[in-house]
Homo-oligomer: A and B are copies of this chain.
Amino acid sequence: MFKNLNVGALGHKVSGFEESVKLAAEYGFQGVDPDLGYARDKGVPAVKDLLQKHTLRLGGFGLSVRWRESDSDKDFAESLEGFVKECKLAAELGVTRCMTWVMPCSDKLTYRQHYELMVSRMRPAAQILKGFGQSLGLEFIGPRTLRASKKQGFVYTMDGMRAVNAAIGTGNVGFLLDCWHWYTAQATVTDIEQLDPAEVVYVHLNDAPKGVHVNDQVDNKRELPGTGVIDLKGFLGALRKIGYDGPITVEPFNEPLKKMPLAEALKTTAASLAKAGL
Protein backbone atom coordinates (compact mmCIF):
# COMPACT_ATOMS: atom_id res chain seq x y z
CA MET A 1 0.00 0.00 0.00
CA PHE A 2 1.10 3.56 -0.57
CA LYS A 3 0.48 6.97 0.97
CA ASN A 4 -1.77 8.81 -1.41
CA LEU A 5 -2.57 12.52 -1.40
CA ASN A 6 -5.93 14.05 -2.17
CA VAL A 7 -5.74 17.68 -1.08
CA GLY A 8 -9.51 18.10 -1.36
CA ALA A 9 -10.01 15.26 1.09
CA LEU A 10 -8.10 17.38 3.62
CA GLY A 11 -10.56 20.24 3.14
CA HIS A 12 -8.03 22.30 1.21
CA LYS A 13 -7.69 23.62 -2.29
CA VAL A 14 -4.81 23.80 -4.72
CA SER A 15 -4.40 25.61 -8.00
CA GLY A 16 -4.48 22.36 -9.93
CA PHE A 17 -3.04 18.93 -10.50
CA GLU A 18 0.50 20.17 -10.95
CA GLU A 19 0.50 21.74 -7.52
CA SER A 20 -0.97 18.54 -6.03
CA VAL A 21 1.86 16.55 -7.53
CA LYS A 22 4.50 18.94 -6.31
CA LEU A 23 3.07 18.98 -2.79
CA ALA A 24 2.68 15.21 -2.70
CA ALA A 25 6.33 14.79 -3.55
CA GLU A 26 7.45 17.51 -1.20
CA TYR A 27 5.61 16.07 1.78
CA GLY A 28 6.57 12.46 1.24
CA PHE A 29 3.44 11.00 -0.32
CA GLN A 30 3.84 8.18 -2.82
CA GLY A 31 0.80 8.90 -4.91
CA VAL A 32 -1.99 11.32 -5.82
CA ASP A 33 -5.50 10.82 -7.12
CA PRO A 34 -5.76 11.48 -10.87
CA ASP A 35 -7.28 14.71 -12.18
CA LEU A 36 -9.11 13.54 -15.28
CA GLY A 37 -9.88 17.08 -16.43
CA TYR A 38 -6.17 17.93 -16.34
CA ALA A 39 -5.31 14.73 -18.21
CA ARG A 40 -7.88 15.58 -20.87
CA ASP A 41 -6.37 19.03 -21.34
CA LYS A 42 -2.69 18.19 -21.17
CA GLY A 43 -2.69 14.70 -22.54
CA VAL A 44 -1.80 11.37 -21.00
CA PRO A 45 1.96 11.50 -21.78
CA ALA A 46 2.28 14.85 -19.98
CA VAL A 47 0.65 13.40 -16.87
CA LYS A 48 2.86 10.36 -16.96
CA ASP A 49 5.98 12.49 -17.35
CA LEU A 50 4.96 14.68 -14.45
CA LEU A 51 4.37 11.68 -12.21
CA GLN A 52 7.58 9.97 -13.23
CA LYS A 53 9.54 13.10 -12.50
CA HIS A 54 8.20 13.07 -8.96
CA THR A 55 8.15 9.26 -8.60
CA LEU A 56 4.46 9.21 -7.85
CA ARG A 57 1.71 6.70 -8.52
CA LEU A 58 -1.96 7.34 -9.13
CA GLY A 59 -4.81 6.47 -6.74
CA GLY A 60 -8.44 6.25 -7.84
CA PHE A 61 -11.27 8.27 -9.38
CA GLY A 62 -14.78 8.85 -8.15
CA LEU A 63 -17.76 7.12 -9.77
CA SER A 64 -19.66 9.76 -11.70
CA VAL A 65 -22.56 7.46 -12.58
CA ARG A 66 -25.85 8.89 -11.33
CA TRP A 67 -27.25 5.78 -9.75
CA ARG A 68 -28.79 7.15 -6.55
CA GLU A 69 -32.43 7.26 -5.57
CA SER A 70 -32.71 10.92 -6.49
CA ASP A 71 -31.54 10.12 -10.02
CA SER A 72 -34.10 9.26 -12.67
CA ASP A 73 -33.60 6.50 -15.21
CA LYS A 74 -32.71 9.28 -17.63
CA ASP A 75 -30.12 10.81 -15.28
CA PHE A 76 -28.60 7.37 -14.93
CA ALA A 77 -28.51 6.73 -18.66
CA GLU A 78 -27.12 10.16 -19.51
CA SER A 79 -24.37 9.90 -16.92
CA LEU A 80 -22.93 6.79 -18.55
CA GLU A 81 -21.63 8.83 -21.49
CA GLY A 82 -19.20 10.84 -19.39
CA PHE A 83 -18.43 7.83 -17.25
CA VAL A 84 -17.17 5.77 -20.18
CA LYS A 85 -14.99 8.69 -21.21
CA GLU A 86 -13.52 8.87 -17.73
CA CYS A 87 -12.87 5.14 -17.51
CA LYS A 88 -11.11 5.21 -20.86
CA LEU A 89 -8.93 8.12 -19.87
CA ALA A 90 -8.23 6.63 -16.45
CA ALA A 91 -7.24 3.36 -18.13
CA GLU A 92 -4.79 5.19 -20.36
CA LEU A 93 -3.29 6.71 -17.22
CA GLY A 94 -3.00 3.23 -15.73
CA VAL A 95 -5.66 3.88 -13.07
CA THR A 96 -7.56 0.73 -12.10
CA ARG A 97 -9.57 1.99 -9.12
CA CYS A 98 -12.94 3.74 -9.11
CA MET A 99 -15.02 4.35 -6.01
CA THR A 100 -18.11 5.83 -4.46
CA TRP A 101 -20.11 5.83 -1.24
CA VAL A 102 -23.54 4.29 -0.63
CA MET A 103 -26.18 6.06 1.45
CA PRO A 104 -27.13 3.83 4.40
CA CYS A 105 -30.75 4.94 4.52
CA SER A 106 -33.63 6.53 2.67
CA ASP A 107 -36.83 8.38 3.36
CA LYS A 108 -38.53 7.19 0.22
CA LEU A 109 -37.28 3.78 -0.79
CA THR A 110 -37.95 0.58 1.10
CA TYR A 111 -34.92 -1.62 1.65
CA ARG A 112 -35.98 -3.88 -1.18
CA GLN A 113 -36.53 -1.02 -3.64
CA HIS A 114 -33.17 0.49 -2.69
CA TYR A 115 -31.47 -2.88 -3.13
CA GLU A 116 -32.93 -3.38 -6.59
CA LEU A 117 -32.11 0.17 -7.66
CA MET A 118 -28.55 -0.26 -6.52
CA VAL A 119 -27.88 -3.69 -7.97
CA SER A 120 -29.50 -2.93 -11.33
CA ARG A 121 -27.59 0.31 -11.80
CA MET A 122 -24.25 -0.73 -10.31
CA ARG A 123 -24.07 -3.77 -12.57
CA PRO A 124 -23.72 -1.79 -15.84
CA ALA A 125 -21.26 0.56 -14.12
CA ALA A 126 -19.20 -2.42 -13.01
CA GLN A 127 -19.42 -3.99 -16.47
CA ILE A 128 -18.02 -0.81 -18.00
CA LEU A 129 -15.16 -0.66 -15.48
CA LYS A 130 -14.44 -4.33 -16.14
CA GLY A 131 -14.10 -3.56 -19.82
CA PHE A 132 -11.27 -1.20 -18.94
CA GLY A 133 -9.65 -3.58 -16.44
CA GLN A 134 -10.84 -1.53 -13.48
CA SER A 135 -12.48 -2.27 -10.14
CA LEU A 136 -15.24 -0.53 -8.25
CA GLY A 137 -14.84 0.13 -4.54
CA LEU A 138 -18.09 0.73 -2.66
CA GLU A 139 -17.94 2.58 0.63
CA PHE A 140 -20.37 1.55 3.33
CA ILE A 141 -21.25 4.46 5.62
CA GLY A 142 -21.17 3.39 9.25
CA PRO A 143 -22.36 6.08 11.69
CA ARG A 144 -25.65 5.22 13.34
CA THR A 145 -26.43 8.91 13.81
CA LEU A 146 -26.70 9.37 10.06
CA ARG A 147 -29.46 6.84 9.57
CA ALA A 148 -31.19 6.93 12.95
CA SER A 149 -33.72 9.57 11.94
CA LYS A 150 -34.58 7.95 8.62
CA LYS A 151 -37.58 5.78 8.00
CA GLN A 152 -35.75 3.19 5.95
CA GLY A 153 -32.38 1.68 6.60
CA PHE A 154 -29.97 0.45 3.95
CA VAL A 155 -26.61 -1.29 3.76
CA TYR A 156 -24.14 0.29 6.20
CA THR A 157 -21.70 -2.49 7.16
CA MET A 158 -18.77 -4.24 5.57
CA ASP A 159 -20.73 -7.46 5.86
CA GLY A 160 -23.78 -6.03 4.12
CA MET A 161 -21.76 -4.44 1.33
CA ARG A 162 -19.97 -7.70 0.69
CA ALA A 163 -23.31 -9.39 0.07
CA VAL A 164 -24.37 -6.64 -2.32
CA ASN A 165 -21.06 -6.95 -4.15
CA ALA A 166 -21.75 -10.66 -4.63
CA ALA A 167 -25.21 -9.85 -5.97
CA ILE A 168 -23.80 -7.40 -8.51
CA GLY A 169 -21.83 -10.42 -9.58
CA THR A 170 -19.38 -8.97 -12.07
CA GLY A 171 -16.36 -10.02 -10.02
CA ASN A 172 -14.68 -6.61 -9.99
CA VAL A 173 -16.62 -4.97 -7.16
CA GLY A 174 -15.14 -4.59 -3.71
CA PHE A 175 -14.68 -2.01 -0.98
CA LEU A 176 -13.65 1.52 -0.52
CA LEU A 177 -12.58 0.75 3.02
CA ASP A 178 -12.65 3.80 5.29
CA CYS A 179 -11.39 3.09 8.80
CA TRP A 180 -14.01 5.55 10.10
CA HIS A 181 -16.83 3.47 8.69
CA TRP A 182 -15.08 0.24 9.59
CA TYR A 183 -15.01 1.57 13.17
CA THR A 184 -18.50 3.08 13.31
CA ALA A 185 -20.08 0.03 11.70
CA GLN A 186 -18.17 -1.94 14.35
CA ALA A 187 -16.35 -4.29 12.04
CA THR A 188 -13.20 -5.98 13.31
CA VAL A 189 -9.70 -6.85 12.21
CA THR A 190 -11.07 -10.31 11.46
CA ASP A 191 -13.33 -8.89 8.77
CA ILE A 192 -10.34 -7.47 6.91
CA GLU A 193 -8.20 -10.55 7.40
CA GLN A 194 -10.84 -12.68 5.71
CA LEU A 195 -10.88 -10.59 2.54
CA ASP A 196 -9.27 -11.43 -0.74
CA PRO A 197 -6.86 -8.54 -1.46
CA ALA A 198 -8.68 -7.85 -4.75
CA GLU A 199 -11.76 -6.94 -2.69
CA VAL A 200 -10.03 -3.86 -1.30
CA VAL A 201 -10.10 -1.22 -4.00
CA TYR A 202 -9.26 1.95 -2.08
CA VAL A 203 -8.62 2.95 1.55
CA HIS A 204 -9.46 6.06 3.56
CA LEU A 205 -7.63 6.83 6.76
CA ASN A 206 -8.70 9.10 9.60
CA ASP A 207 -9.69 8.79 13.23
CA ALA A 208 -12.62 9.21 15.62
CA PRO A 209 -12.67 11.60 18.56
CA LYS A 210 -12.23 10.32 22.07
CA GLY A 211 -15.04 10.60 24.55
CA VAL A 212 -17.85 9.86 22.08
CA HIS A 213 -19.61 6.49 22.09
CA VAL A 214 -19.17 4.67 18.80
CA ASN A 215 -22.92 4.77 18.16
CA ASP A 216 -22.98 8.52 18.73
CA GLN A 217 -20.10 9.45 16.46
CA VAL A 218 -21.08 12.07 13.92
CA ASP A 219 -19.98 11.60 10.32
CA ASN A 220 -18.32 14.95 9.70
CA LYS A 221 -16.53 15.18 13.02
CA ARG A 222 -13.42 13.15 12.55
CA GLU A 223 -9.79 13.38 13.55
CA LEU A 224 -6.41 12.97 11.97
CA PRO A 225 -5.11 9.37 11.98
CA GLY A 226 -3.48 8.47 15.26
CA THR A 227 -5.14 11.09 17.40
CA GLY A 228 -8.35 9.26 18.18
CA VAL A 229 -9.82 5.93 19.23
CA ILE A 230 -9.74 3.85 16.05
CA ASP A 231 -7.42 0.82 16.12
CA LEU A 232 -5.37 1.94 13.13
CA LYS A 233 -2.60 -0.45 13.93
CA GLY A 234 -5.04 -3.33 13.66
CA PHE A 235 -6.67 -1.85 10.56
CA LEU A 236 -3.43 -1.28 8.66
CA GLY A 237 -1.89 -4.47 9.96
CA ALA A 238 -4.75 -6.51 8.55
CA LEU A 239 -4.49 -4.74 5.18
CA ARG A 240 -0.76 -5.44 5.12
CA LYS A 241 -1.35 -9.05 6.10
CA ILE A 242 -3.68 -9.75 3.19
CA GLY A 243 -1.35 -7.96 0.81
CA TYR A 244 -3.25 -4.80 -0.06
CA ASP A 245 -1.08 -2.75 -2.40
CA GLY A 246 -3.29 0.23 -3.20
CA PRO A 247 -3.64 3.81 -2.05
CA ILE A 248 -4.14 4.97 1.54
CA THR A 249 -5.68 8.42 1.50
CA VAL A 250 -6.26 10.60 4.52
CA GLU A 251 -9.80 11.99 4.59
CA PRO A 252 -10.26 13.41 8.08
CA PHE A 253 -13.22 15.83 7.79
CA ASN A 254 -11.43 17.77 10.49
CA GLU A 255 -12.10 21.46 11.13
CA PRO A 256 -8.74 22.44 12.70
CA LEU A 257 -6.88 20.82 9.81
CA LYS A 258 -9.07 22.66 7.38
CA LYS A 259 -8.25 25.98 8.99
CA MET A 260 -4.49 25.46 8.99
CA PRO A 261 -2.33 26.95 6.24
CA LEU A 262 -1.97 24.31 3.52
CA ALA A 263 1.70 23.65 4.22
CA GLU A 264 1.00 23.03 7.86
CA ALA A 265 -1.98 20.81 7.03
CA LEU A 266 0.17 18.67 4.75
CA LYS A 267 2.97 18.45 7.28
CA THR A 268 0.47 17.46 9.96
CA THR A 269 -1.14 14.89 7.68
CA ALA A 270 2.20 13.40 6.69
CA ALA A 271 3.22 13.23 10.33
CA SER A 272 -0.02 11.45 11.20
CA LEU A 273 0.68 8.85 8.52
CA ALA A 274 4.20 8.35 9.78
CA LYS A 275 2.85 7.91 13.27
CA ALA A 276 0.45 5.28 11.92
CA GLY A 277 3.50 3.42 10.64
CA LEU A 278 3.18 4.31 6.97
| A binding-site residues for B, Cβ under 8 Å | 72-78, 80-81, 84-85, 87-88, 105, 110-112, 115-116, 120-121, 123-124, 127-133, 144, 147-148, 150-153, 155-157, 159-160, 162-164, 166-167, 185-186, 188, 190-191, 194-196, 215
Most B CB atoms within 10 A — which of A105, A132, A160, A196?
Answer: A160
**17 A–B pairs (Cβ distance < 8 Å), ordered by A:** A73-B131, A74-B132, A76-B127, A77-B130, A78-B84, A80-B80, A80-B128, A110-B196, A147-B190, A155-B159, A155-B163, A156-B159, A160-B160, A160-B162, A163-B163, A163-B167, A167-B167
Docked complex Cα distance between A62 and B194 (Å): 30
**Measured between C-beta atoms, what is the minimum distance from A114 to chain B in Å?**
9
Docked complex Cα distance between A157 and B162 (Å): 11
Q: Which residues of B contact A144 (CB under 8 A)?
A: 188, 190
- Chain B residue nearest in CB terms to A128: B77
Q: Which residues of B contact A77 (CB under 8 A)?
A: 84, 87, 127-132
Determine whether the beta carbon of A78 is less than 8 Å from that of B88. yes
Question: Which 7 pairs show the lowest CB-CB distances between chains A and B?
Answer: A77-B131, A153-B194, A159-B160, A186-B186, A163-B163, A124-B124, A81-B84
Q: Which residues of B contact A105 (CB under 8 A)?
A: 194
Docked complex Cα distance between A123 and B157 (Å): 24
Determine whether the beta carbon of A194 is less than 8 Å from that of B159. no
11 extra A-B contacts, CB within 8 A, seeds A77-B128, A77-B132, A124-B128: A73-B127, A74-B133, A80-B80, A84-B84, A111-B194, A120-B127, A150-B194, A152-B194, A157-B157, A159-B185, A167-B167
Q: Which residues of B contact A191 (CB under 8 A)?
A: 153
**Measured between C-beta atoms, what is the minimum distance from A139 to chain B in Å?**
14
Q: Which residues of B contact A130 (CB under 8 A)?
A: 73, 77
Docked complex Cα distance between A190 and B105 (Å): 11
Q: Which residues of B contact A215 (CB under 8 A)?
A: 188
Q: Which residues of B contact A131 (CB under 8 A)?
A: 72-78
**Measured between C-beta atoms, what is the minimum distance from A66 to chain B in Å?**
10
Q: A124-B124, A131-B72, A194-B153 are in contact. Are A111 and B81 (CB under 8 A)?
A: no
**Measured between C-beta atoms, what is the minimum distance from A136 to chain B in Å?**
13
Q: Which residues of B contact A84 (CB under 8 A)?
A: 77-78, 80-81, 84
**Measured between C-beta atoms, what is the minimum distance from A110 to chain B in Å?**
7
**Measured between C-beta atoms, what is the minimum distance from A222 to chain B in Å?**
20
- Chain B residue nearest in CB terms to A77: B131
Q: A73-B130, A77-B84, A131-B74 are in contact. Are A166 and B196 (CB under 8 A)?
A: no
